Chain A
Amino acid sequence: MGYTKDQLLARLQELRIEFSKYEHPVVLTVEAQAKHVGNVGASLSKNLFLKDKKQRFYIVSALADTKVDLKVLSQRLGLGKGGLRMAPEEALGEILQVPLGCVTPFALVNESARHVSLLLDQGFKSQQGCLFHPLSNDTSISLNTLSLDKFLKSIGRDPSYVDLEANPKVGKDQPPDLAALVPSDSIVLPEFAEGAPPSEHSNENHAATDVKPKAVKAKAVKTPAVAEKVKDKSSTGVLPSISFTDAGQFVEEILDKTSAILLSEIRDDTVRQHGEQLGAVVSDTLRKRLSSELKNLAIMFKNTAYTEGFHAGTRHQPKRP
């Protein structure tokens, strides 16, 4: 379950990060966004969600006017020519947990995005404020890079500003200058995402250059040596999944799962089949399907709380006599 806009904004407020909020009708492209917030004195950003051939994902966030050449970027990252392409639509939901047209650096608050690399346009630094979607297309927030950096640091990220228009030579004696920004871990999507062509829609808000909508064959590269590697390192970077430290979000997740099953079980045919008994039937189904999963979630929540307490206890200063 990903962060919601309100949760993110609350978090920004908690961290005392300054931003201005603008609400507007849902927009899917930078052009549409410009119609509503083009004159607020902040610079529009365009945000691309990219992936490479080894299932590694990137967000490139740039000023709307900056020219982003995927071929050049790909070389600068050390991925060769044409190593970068638009990520498939499914990845947006799975990894960034944002809707179409809503790619934003703020998506990195989600645990699912912890291996996504972020490249920020150097050009942001000289702006009074830059506009991003706070996980929802019906709002834009503007903040300066100091504030953005503060947020990124709070989620364990090191902000990386890059001159996106530069085109340095990459060759034998000139190593790719952005190689350090390639994620150390790939992200493997559930099966249905494999082989799906990147949707045409995702191009609109990205002002992308050379995207060929051909089927992307995602190979999860696995050799015996790789099989030994533990992919999910609990990294020092991102905090543990918020569901397990935030009671509110924990409960939301439980209610989401329950609602989903409830809604899927109440259909014309089941209403006809069970009539008045439908309530009892659905109640049983819910228990059967959710009981063990929710118990597991609850145990993780408990273990997380205990760990935080334990950790605090080991650093606790005894009361002065």
Chain B
Amino acid sequence: MEKREERAVEEGAAAAAGGEAEAAAEAEAEVNPWEVSGKIDYDKLIDKFGCQRLDQSLIDRVQRLTSRAPHVFLRRGVFFAHRDFNEILDAYERGDKFYLYTGRGPSSEALHLGHLIPFMFTKYLQDAFKVPLVIQLTDDEKCMWKNISVEESQRLARENAKDIIACGFDVTRTFIFSDFDYVGGAFYKNMVKVAKCVTYNKVVGIFGFTGEDHIGKVSFPPVQAVPSFPSSFPHLFNGKDHLRCLIPCAIDQDPYFRMTRDVAPRLGYHKPALIESSFFPALQGDTGKMSASDPNSAIYVTDSAKDIKDKINRYAFTGGQDTKEKQRLYGANLEVDIPVKYLSFFLEDDDELEHIKTEYGSGRMLTFDVKKRLTEILVEIVERHRRARAAVTDEMVDAFMAVRPLPSMFG
């Protein structure tokens, strides 16, 4: 469970790099918190993991309960699986609210769009349901796994916090914390309680630790488990031990949260609910790995309009035909086309997306046009983000990270 949501994106839905025994073309894809490979069959994954599909009836229910259109990621099946989300909605209908928990492992300064996706969705959940949110920055994890210094990991945590805040979270409902700052007190007490419930063999099974791994890694899992329990935040949820928790994350985190869900009832807490997303493809498509060391595999929030245009034009894997003539005859292969996939994430207008898919798939529209529209949309998103980020001061980060009550968090 080294990385969080962005891990999925960094490994990418890559063709098997020969790592695992099962990695033949048609064979099982490998999906776990530290590796994502192969062509993913999401239905099989849901079966294998034992989570639920997020079907249309749940989406309709969300729309009814929140009195607003469901987020584009729900409509397009980006967030497509869950555990106990229906129970969260049942409780919500009865008047029992919940809180959100998400996080980031601050391993690099440069964030790309894939990193932003869980945060964009979490912001929507915060606004739609009017519930509080805790965001964990696992600087300790990165210090241990990436072998960077304590100071550097703390610095990265603060830098990443700025990008996260720029996604538009409401300071009166959001608590951001870094492990180095916050672990202790009630949080640590819960960590010890969790640790007592999980055997060494179990963590080895889930996380694949070996005798060579240092003990910091082995004792880390509880740190990421306990934010699911309201008593870890006495300044926020004092006396609300039965408050439920909903965790938006990428589906590769599922095995990790299974550990937490297993432990929760033994400690007298509700199991945290999960709402899970598929992976954000690398620019080069299924055969590419989105990686921080290859700036051309992803669109970064620091990219200029020109960078974005160039990256889409030069590196995006398309399903269009080689020539205009062929394109008009055969149309594009929408299954593998990255621009269309990206549009399905970021183009809000359902009708326009349908139109593009029909026209492009039949050959009446060219790859050039699809890329142009995508570039427009991505530039708008990135520039909006940049502007918001420029308005985030160090004082604002301090405010978000202050241990303080949030009196209107359910308002």
Contacts and interface: CB of A to CB of B under 8 A. Distances in A.
A298 to B, nearest CB: 9
B216 interface: no
Interface residues of B, number: 41
Contacts, number: 96
Nearest to A299: B168
- Contact-size category for A: 20 to 34
Interface in B288-341: 292-295, 300, 302, 304-307, 309
Contacts of A194: 306
A307 B171 contact: yes
B391 A304 contact: yes
Contacts of A222: 295, 307
A307 B108 CA distance: 26
A220 B306 contact: yes
A308 B392 CA distance: 12
A220 B304 contact: yes
A229 to B, nearest CB: 7
Overall SS of chain A's interface: helix
A13 interface: no
B109 interface: yes
Contact of A234 (B171, B292, B304, B392): B392
Given A188-B305, A302-B171, A306-B399, A293 B384 contact: yes
Given A222-B307, A296-B168, A303-B171, A228 B390 contact: no
Contacts of A90: none
Among B295, B384, B390, the most chain A Cβ lie within 10 Å of the Cβ of B390
B128 to A, nearest CB: 12
B28 interface: no
Contact of A231 (B302, B306, B379): B302
A310 B395 CA distance: 9
Given A241-B387, A303-B165, A311 B309 contact: no
A243 B110 CA distance: 27
Contact of A229 (B109, B170, B307): B109
B304 A307 contact: no
Contact of B109 (A111, A191, A218, A228): A228
A81 to B, nearest CB: 27
A318 interface: no
Contact of B170 (A188, A232, A299): A299
B384 A230 contact: no
Interface of A: 111, 188, 190-191, 194, 218, 220, 222, 224, 227-232, 234, 236, 240-241, 244, 293, 295-296, 299-300, 302-304, 306-308, 310-311
Shortest Cβ-Cβ A-B pairs, 8 listed: A188-B304, A227-B295, A310-B399, A307-B396, A191-B305, A307-B399, A303-B171, A220-B304
Interface of B: 108-110, 127, 159, 162, 165, 168-172, 292-295, 300, 302, 304-307, 309, 379, 383-384, 386-396, 398-399, 402, 404
Given A228-B109, A232-B389, A303-B399, 14 more contacts: A111-B390, A191-B306, A218-B306, A228-B108, A229-B302, A230-B159, A230-B302, A231-B302, A232-B386, A234-B389, A295-B168, A302-B172, A307-B396, A311-B398
